[in-house]
Structure 1
Amino acid sequence: MQGESNLTIAPRGKDSILLVDGMALMFRAYYASAATGYIRRTKAGLPTNAVYGFMRYFWDAVQKFNPTHVACCWDLGSKTFRTEQFAAYKGNRSEAPEDLVPQFSVIQDVMDSLGIPNISAIGYEADDCIGTLATRFGTPNMDVLILTGDHDMLQLVSETTSVIIMKKGHGNYSVYTPQILMEEKQITPAQIVDLKGLMGDTSDNYPGVRGIGEKTALKLVLEYGSVEGILNHLDKLSKSIRSKIEADLDMLHLSRQLAEIRCDVELVCDQEACRLELNHAQVAAKFEELEMASICNWMGVAAANE
């Protein structure tokens, strides 16, 4: 296809929207390539290894899951409503690598060139934007697919929303529906939040109930159904478990709040604006600019000079 022609990805059955966890893809792409010791750069010295890797992950998922619509969600700074609730939230994380930082704006420019909306909201994380859009767009006429590497997203699984967890290597995924989540982990999406409230999350740096790990948390949730169910049956718990919960009751409730993905963020994102239609000339020009013309080949986009 030449020049200004558009390519619309052919739908498979009813419409579907792929909600991309941009942060997860960028960090995965950066570290996968940086581990080799080689950082891809333009002639001007701009690092582009994460951008290149992102496109490989992203386009592989587009080809495999064939969405009719796409939106890409991003964090917007480190301060969110969660850091206001708990100052140490994610406080254990190091700064992003120097070579990665400029690539966040570059990949968002790339998404713009693909006609894909970049979605973010002040005071919220990409997860909350994804949760909000999944709730908004998931209907009997539209399936939602969430592309991420973050297992916390499994709480968003529903009859209209599937979560695609990227595994090691390209093209390796675990796709979760409510049925698969129950078969594999014996829990419902809502119970993931209860688990996190009890056991905490070392990655996000909130403690949950001190002394209760994953095994005990899962046992309690399976037996009593939820945190409320556990608290209503404290008299049936062992003295040790009961005393731990009672000592950390406030942190239990706070940790559960921190774990829960918000689905009510005020976002401007029109469904039709997410329709996946590629303007070949625009896409090719962007990848020529980034000295990544090879991407055009495996995207099926005519190079700018053809």
Structure 2
Amino acid sequence: MEMIEPVDISRPSLMLVDGMAVLFRAYYATAYGGSIRRMKDGTPTNAVYGYMRYFWDAVETFKPTHIACCWDLGSKTFRSEQFTDYKANRAECPEDLVPQFQMMKDVMDAFGIPNISVEGYEADDCIGTLSRLYREEYDVMVLTGDHDMLQLVHDHTKVIIMKKGHGNYAVYTPEYLQEERQILPDQVIDIKGLMGDTSDNYPGVRGIGEKTAYKLVQQYGSIEGILGNMEELAKGVRTKIEADLDMLHLSRKLATIDCDAPLACDIESCFFDPDRNQVSTLMEKLEMTSVVRLVGM
């Protein structure tokens, strides 16, 4: 794990929270043992409670001045139009988690944190768009568990990958990405194009795994570099790429975060200055007074 660097107080900072990733992580971390936290009326709240523990630890660790939370809408996206099997392998959302999506957005509202989503786009695209929009004036921090986000790493964009356990992070800067994986942020997309993504259900080039994908991109720089030097490749690798050229290009397209999603987000609305009464009132309603104590309100 990379050392967490001191916060640069000379520049304001914007934390972009991958709401879906954090909420799913919180749900499964707490539901694993079979004991689901519920309100007196039976409404499940385990994911919301777990989310707040993860979220508040990140706030205290990285001390953002501004925060926004990005969400998927669960509807069809431009990627599912390009490839009908995109994410088709995903299991149904657990029944106990369904009511907690809106509940979590209500909690973010109570903290004065904007909930951002766009029809036809994923949370990743919202995060990518906001990071590109504000990275010249703000130190952007992306809080997620999704390694696809590493393509957003930039001199003023850190990608904070949540690892197992509370308070355990890998903080990716361009230097750390180079040190750990010997690649540049843009090359994350080329690697995904080659190896595909089983969780998002697109295949890449059949027969090329992670190890070969990294080796090829490190050696030739990009998919274009690989295709321009096909005669140098081992016959087996060359044959696989030639057989799956269309899927290679489509997979790279599917892996690319769209940083031009049509969204509006006033940065002033992201300034993090929660109202104690709003937070306390909602947490009491959700029977989570321990969260009020956790956040020191």
Q: Normalising to structure 2: TM-score of the pair?
A: 0.96
Alpha-carbon shift at residue 78 of structure 1 (Å)? 3.7
- Alpha-carbon distance in 1 for matches of 2:86, 2:153: 24
The reply to whether residue 190 of structure 1 matches residue 175 of structure 2 is: no
- Alpha-carbon distance in 2 for matches of 1:242, 1:172: 40
Give the one of 101, 104, 128 matched to 1:104. 101
Equivalent in the alignment of 2:246: 250
Counterpart mapping for 1:28-67 below 5 A: 28-67=25-64
The reply to whether residue 175 of structure 1 matches residue 171 of structure 2 is: yes
Counterpart residue type for residue 167 of structure 1: K
Contact persistence 1:11–1:67 (CA under 8 A): no
State the secondary structure of the residue aligned to 2:143. strand
Counterpart residue type for residue 108 of structure 1: K
- Alpha-carbon distance in 2 for matches of 1:294, 1:207: 45
Equivalent in the alignment of 1:3: none
Q: Deviations over 1:247-304 (max 9, x none)?
A: 1000000000000111000111010000001110111000000000111112111xxx
Counterpart residue type for residue 186 of structure 1: Q
- Alpha-carbon distance in 1 for matches of 2:193, 2:8: 39
The reply to whether residue 207 of structure 1 matches residue 217 of structure 2 is: no
- Alpha-carbon distance in 1 for matches of 2:42, 2:235: 62
Give the one of 254, 262, 270 matched to 1:266. 262
State the secondary structure of the residue aligned to 1:245. helix
- Alpha-carbon distance in 2 for matches of 1:172, 1:243: 42
Q: Deviations over 1:209-266 (max 9, x none)?
A: 0111111111111110000000111111122111111110000000000001110001
State the secondary structure of the residue aligned to 2:59. helix
Matched residues, number: 291
- Alpha-carbon distance in 2 for matches of 1:55, 1:229: 45
State the secondary structure of the residue aligned to 1:262. coil
Give the one of 102, 110, 119 matched to 1:122. 119
Equivalent in the alignment of 2:138: 142
- Alpha-carbon distance in 1 for matches of 2:179, 2:220: 19
Equivalent in the alignment of 1:297: 293
Q: Deviations over 1:98-145 (max 9, x none)?
A: 000000000000100110000000001000000000000101x31000
Counterpart mapping for 1:210-289 below 5 A: 210-289=206-285
- Alpha-carbon distance in 2 for matches of 1:201, 1:253: 14
Contact persistence 2:162–2:170 (CA under 8 A): yes
Counterpart mapping for 1:143-162 below 5 A: 143-162=139-158
State the secondary structure of the residue aligned to 2:179. helix
Contact persistence 2:151–2:188 (CA under 8 A): yes
State the secondary structure of the residue aligned to 2:52. helix
The reply to whether residue 94 of structure 1 matches residue 91 of structure 2 is: yes
Equivalent in the alignment of 1:21: 18
Counterpart residue type for residue 277 of structure 1: D
Q: Normalising to structure 1: TM-score of the pair?
A: 0.94
Gap regions ≥5 residues in structure 2:
1-6
Gap regions ≥5 residues in structure 1:
1-9, 302-306
- Alpha-carbon distance in 2 for matches of 1:215, 1:180: 19
| Structure 1 runs of 4+ with >4 Å offset | none
Counterpart residue type for residue 165 of structure 2: G
Q: Deviations over 1:61-107 (max 9, x none)?
A: 00000000000000011410000000101111101100000000000
Q: CA RMSD for the aligned pairs?
A: 1.1
Counterpart residue type for residue 273 of structure 1: S
Equivalent in the alignment of 1:132: 129
